[in-house]
Structure 1
Amino acid sequence: MDNLDFSNHPDFQDKPVFIDPTVDIGFKILFGDKRNLLNFLNIIFQGRKEIVDLTYRNTERIGRGEEAGTVIFDLIVETTTGEEVIIEMQTSNHRNFKKRMLYYGCNVVSEKAPRGNRAGWGYDIPEVYTIVVMDNFKMQGVDDGCYFHDICLCDRGDGKIFYEGFGFIYLQLINFVKSEAELSTDLDMVFYMLKNLSTLKKLPKIMDSSIFQRFFRLARYAKLSKEDQAMYDISLKRKWDAEVVRQWQIEEQERKIAEGMEKGLAEGMEKGMEKGMEKGMEKGMEKGMEMGMEKGLEKGMEKGLEKGLAEGERKKSIEVARELKKEGAALELIIRCTKLTAEEIEKL
């Protein structure tokens, strides 16, 4: 067995020991190895399938007809038993993410339809699975903290599987928070490896099996050619730059939300106070008139203003003063009720 601990080697003081599988070149190196990919798929299917061999297929699919367009997968393989498996590495969220993955799967299904002899074909389509590794983002509309989603067609009523041959498996790395000491299954170890490989210095003891030894050997940065190292460094920098942009976008969105809430609260309070003043004046005037002439216009106005000016401001006082002048109230009464000066009232 090879020694997989390079943490003290002088060539690795400023270099990674293992590459990041979520960047383009890292993904191609690690999953471009057939045995490695077979091990990965058999762990992901968790015993539901046993894939003994596979064939890498062309990742570019040209649509039938000028308007159909082209689809490019990260990776697609065909097993010896006919299943088609798409493997996608997604590093950022985007609109219609789930629909895009659905489109990918449907594209492979429709490709299997012959151009002729449909009757003889009888819709004998193969099983098609889309496996999506999601790095550093969560699936929209799914906030249950789950890191592994294994999806097929089910009956909504009883939850029983309706058709299993068209499936989607999502690996949400951001939701996987187990430490090395908490790993208990091969699936746990795959998640831990995908999320932490580029920061590790050696193969964890719990992962010391032939499956993971191979994965870690392929992931050695020092084993890459000079060209692949250069490509990897560029890919990693692009990932870091994209992460900086993503964090900035999140901060900007949060800032705009906070500003919007603050502005909305201020405007809401202002409009609420205006409405309250209007209602207070209206009710105060009605109440004063109901009490009759025996208590006088002055008392009625005071009661109405007591409700309407509880939280009033200078602007509202001016509005009240204008109304009182229209009613012909005495200057002294207006001064007492609005706290405005005689000079200010005369200018209204």
Structure 2
Amino acid sequence: MDGMDLTCGHFVNPFTDIGFKIIFGQPASKELLITLLNELLSGEHRITNLIFLDKENHSDSMADAGIIYDLYCLTDTGEYIIVEMQNRFHSSFLDRTLFYMCRAIGRQVENLREKRKKERELRMDGHDAEEDDFLLKEPMQENYGTRYRLSTVYGIFLMNFREPGLEEKFRTDTVIADRENGRVVNPHFRQIFLQFPYFTRELKECETLYDKLIYTLKNMQHWNRMPDALKEQVFSRLEELAAVANLSMEDRIAYDKALDRYRVSRIVEEDAREAGWKKGLEEGRAEGRAEGRAEIQIAIARNLKALGMNNEQIAKTTGLREEDIEGL
């Protein structure tokens, strides 16, 4: 993924917000998402069905640049799953994933309280309403311990960058465990981090469906068709969903805009790397971090200007003064 590809390929780029949503975040792609999650959780848990919940954090906004797309799901057996694609590095990414996980856990108590309130209202009204089996499965128990009984929350974080806080490898699994012996203390908090730059296998080296799915997500935006070696049914479905030619007019317009944002993001990252910003950040020097941020804002301004945005819009996006932008 190093370097820029300015062509519009046959398949959507999954590292764009709309591209990821098209592949995994719509009702038609639910089975594809279930397949990916089951491959990630193989030997640990198997999902047979899930529903999409409202996202707690909307990530497709200029104010939260670099965050790609969140999926928030509930399985038919009561587990919550957060799936997020993160395009580029930011200094508090691991803290943010922890915040998302803790918030999802805290929301379980709030949701149970709202469910019980609704049930009481239905009984008082004399209704015999049918409720979704996903959302109404816990008994009406009011004891103190039951109030804090948790369902498992899985956080799946697909990362198009190298995170300094993690080991230099593709997959990192975290649990709450005893530091001395590694025994899992609480099984309800699980995180899986996937650093795509460390996945370097060629297709001929991918023997499992899991490896083939990861290889496809990393490389599909460069393809004109699915390779013959990807014979499983899941790739036929992926080929159908991800084909740019199959997008609705609305999705195509949104995707083109998302692809422009993605390209600007990659240009900014390359400019920042050339300016030594990453080196200053890794060495922890405050001066280096400040200079890196300034270089990034200037690089963003230059690229947005090249894309045709006016100085006022660029100033609002970058925080730079309009007179400084004029001289770029």
TM-score (norm 1): 0.63
The aligned runs of 1:264-343 (5 Å cut-off) are: none
| Partner in structure 2 of residue 102 of structure 1 | 98
1:20 and 2:13 equivalent? yes
| Partner in structure 1 of residue 259 of structure 2 | 236
Evaluate the alpha carbon distance shift between residue 112 and residue 143 of structure 1 in structure 2; reply closer, same or farther with a 3 A threshold.
closer
2-structure distance, mates of 1:149, 1:82: 24
Q: Give the residue type in structure 2 aligned to 1:132.
A: F
1:129 and 2:125 equivalent? no
> 1:20-68 deviations in whole A, cap 9, x for unaligned?
1110111111112211111111111123211000011011369xxxxxx
Q: Give the residue type in structure 2 aligned to 1:19.
A: V
User: Segments of 4+ in structure 1 off by > 3 A?
Assistant: 114-118, 254-257
Deviation of 1:229 (Å): 1.5
3-state SS in 1 of match to 2:165? coil
Q: Residue 273 of structure 2 is aligned with which of 250, 253, 258?
A: 250
3-state SS in 2 of match to 1:206? coil
The aligned runs of 1:101-180 (5 Å cut-off) are: 101-113=97-109, 117=142, 119=144, 121-135=146-160, 137-144=161-168, 146-180=169-203
Deviation of 1:255 (Å): 10
Evaluate the alpha carbon distance shift between residue 208 and residue 86 of structure 1 in structure 2; reply closer, same or farther with a 3 A threshold.
same
3-state SS in 2 of match to 1:157? coil
Evaluate the alpha carbon distance shift between residue 161 and residue 192 of structure 1 in structure 2; reply closer, same or farther with a 3 A threshold.
same
2-structure distance, mates of 1:204, 1:48: 30
Evaluate the alpha carbon distance shift between residue 158 and residue 204 of structure 1 in structure 2; reply closer, same or farther with a 3 A threshold.
same
Preserved CA contact (<8 Å) 1:60 1:73: no
Evaluate the alpha carbon distance shift between residue 61 and residue 235 of structure 1 in structure 2; reply closer, same or farther with a 3 A threshold.
closer
Aligned-residue CA RMSD in angstroms?
2.4
1-structure distance, mates of 2:206, 2:18: 27
2-structure distance, mates of 1:89, 1:38: 16
1:48 and 2:44 equivalent? yes
| Partner in structure 2 of residue 195 of structure 1 | 218
Q: Residue 36 of structure 1 is aligned with which of 32, 42, 52?
A: 32
Preserved CA contact (<8 Å) 1:147 1:174: yes
Evaluate the alpha carbon distance shift between residue 120 and residue 207 of structure 1 in structure 2; reply closer, same or farther with a 3 A threshold.
same
| Partner in structure 2 of residue 211 of structure 1 | 234
Q: Give the residue type in structure 1 aligned to 2:80.
A: E
The aligned runs of 1:68-87 (5 Å cut-off) are: 74-87=70-83
1:223 and 2:219 equivalent? no
1:58 and 2:54 equivalent? yes
Deviation of 1:121 (Å): 2.5
1-structure distance, mates of 2:75, 2:198: 30
Consecutive unaligned residues in structure 2, runs of 5 or more:
1-6, 59-67, 117-141, 281-328
| Partner in structure 2 of residue 318 of structure 1 | none
> 1:297-322 deviations in whole A, cap 9, x for unaligned?
xxxxxxxxxxxxxxxxxxxxxxxxxx
2-structure distance, mates of 1:255, 1:93: 10
Preserved CA contact (<8 Å) 2:177 2:185: yes
Q: Which has the larger radius of gyration?
A: 1
3-state SS in 2 of match to 1:142? coil
> 1:237-284 deviations in whole A, cap 9, x for unaligned?
111111111111111126986xxxxxxxxxxxxxxxxxxxxxxxxxxx
3-state SS in 1 of match to 2:275? helix
Consecutive unaligned residues in structure 1, runs of 5 or more:
1-13, 63-71, 258-348
3-state SS in 2 of match to 1:207? coil
Identity in percent: 33
> 1:123-159 deviations in whole A, cap 9, x for unaligned?
2110001101101x11122243x10112211221122
3-state SS in 2 of match to 1:102? helix
2-structure distance, mates of 1:243, 1:50: 36
2-structure distance, mates of 1:199, 1:168: 29
Preserved CA contact (<8 Å) 2:166 2:172: no
Q: Give the residue type in structure 2 aligned to 1:26.
A: G
